[in-house]
Amino acid sequence: MIEKNVSQGIISTYFSKLEKNLELDVAIVGGGPSGIVAAYYLAKAGKKVALFDRKISPGGGMWGGAMMFNQIVVQKEALDIIKEFDINYEQYNDDLFVMDSVESTSALLYKAVHAGATVFNCYSVEDVVFKDDKVSGVVVNWTPVLREGLHVDPLNIMAKCVVDGTGHDSEMCKTVARKNGIRLATDTGDVIGERSLDVVTGENEVVNGTKEIYPGLYVCGMAASAVSGTPRMGPIFGGMLLSGKKVAELILERQMAKD
């Protein structure tokens, strides 16, 4: 009966997908532009990578452009990434290029999944697995469970490393510092909090701040700015794309050295 087969097809393939992703090379928390770009480059390099986003539509702050004017701006340093994702662009001046934010966000997501990354939407990462003084996985629950405040335990997913791509809130870094009495690799040992807007410094520093912030925990995108206390940059997205690519490269170097 087709009615039963439709349900069975969804359930059996979904749970097989979940089971295959219980032990990962990389768990990415947050599907904003930086996290998605990281997922793409890691998957393309053959890593087993899953990305978790609490919303039904990953993409973070990229869909809305600026003030819901659905265009985004990228500086020329990041144009190669735009080309890699086959996104159409218009040259605005010598340094800046403009794209449709909906095309851009959907292209990032499509290419990441097509390259082999698995996206779990409606998953909130509420904690990490912290073993032998190292971040070793993520603790996930359904977003609706958390929103309703239901007393339901989460599931654990192991990973060789975890990427905090949660944006302005830098939730994973905050959680790891608060719960485990450790110092992050920042000036204060804690999440410093982002500074007010400065495009040039913000764009440079988001890439500089992309790093392993604690053993097993990497940070990219706005979360990297927030953790290290550097300025926000507003609706220019080159830094986010470059940060996602850089975190993937750092992880690949590290994992290749260990393998």
Pick 112 or 125: Cβ nearer ligand 48F? 125
The residue written with tokens 């440079």 in the block is 204
Cβ nearer to ligand 48F, comparing 47 with 202: 202
Applying CB under 6 A, among 171, 213, 242, 246 the residue interacting with ligand 48F is 171
- Amino acid (1-letter code) at residue 141: N
Of these, 119, 125, 162, 219, which contacts ligand 48F (CB under 6 A)? 125
Determine contact, residues 231/196, Cβ cutoff 8 Å.
Answer: yes
Site for ligand 48F in 220-249 (CB under 6 A): 221-223, 232-233, 236-237, 240
Q: Helices (DSSP H) in the chain: which residue ranges? A: 2-20, 33-44, 79-84, 101-114, 143-148, 171-180, 199-208, 222-228, 238-258
> Based on CB atoms, which residue is closest to ligand 48F, 132 or 153?
153
Residue closer to ligand 48F (CB basis): 160 or 172:
172
Distance CA 105, CA 74 (A): 13
Does position 137 bind ligand 48F by CB under 6 A?
Answer: no
The count of other CB atoms within 10 Å of the CB of residue 124 is: 20
218 is a site residue for ligand 48F (CB under 6 A): no
**Closer CB to ligand 48F, 9 or 193, in the complex:** 193
Query: Which residue, 232 or 254, is less far from ligand 48F as judged by CB?
Result: 232
Q: Are 163 and 138 in contact (CB under 8 A)?
A: no
Binding segment toward ligand 48F, per CB under 6 A, in 76-84, 107-115, 146-154, 159-167 = 159-167
Interface with ligand 48F by CB under 6 A: which range of 9-17, 208-216, 219-227, 247-255? 219-227
Smallest separation, CB 239 to ligand 48F (Å) = 6
Fill in the per-residue mask, 50 to 89: x = in contact with ligand 48F (CB under 6 A), - = not in contact: --xxxx--x-xxx---------------------------
CB of 74 to ligand 48F, least distance (A): 10
What separation in angstroms does the CA of 65 have from each of 68, 74, 112? Answer: 6, 11, 20
What are the structure tokens assigned to 167, written together? Answer: 């944006």
**φ, ψ dihedrals at 90, nearest 5°:** -120, 135
Does 166 bind ligand 48F (CB under 6 A)? Our answer is yes
Distance CA 154, CA 126 (A): 8
The whole-angstrom separation of Cα 131 and Cα 160 is: 11
Joined tokens for residue 218: 């990497």
Give the separation between CA 218 and CA 152, rounded to whole angstroms.
Answer: 28
Positions in 6-35 near ligand 48F (CB under 6 A): 29-35
Task: Name the site residues for ligand 48F (rule: CB under 6 A).
Answer: 29-35, 52-55, 58, 60-62, 124-125, 165-167, 169, 171, 221-223, 232-233, 236-237, 240
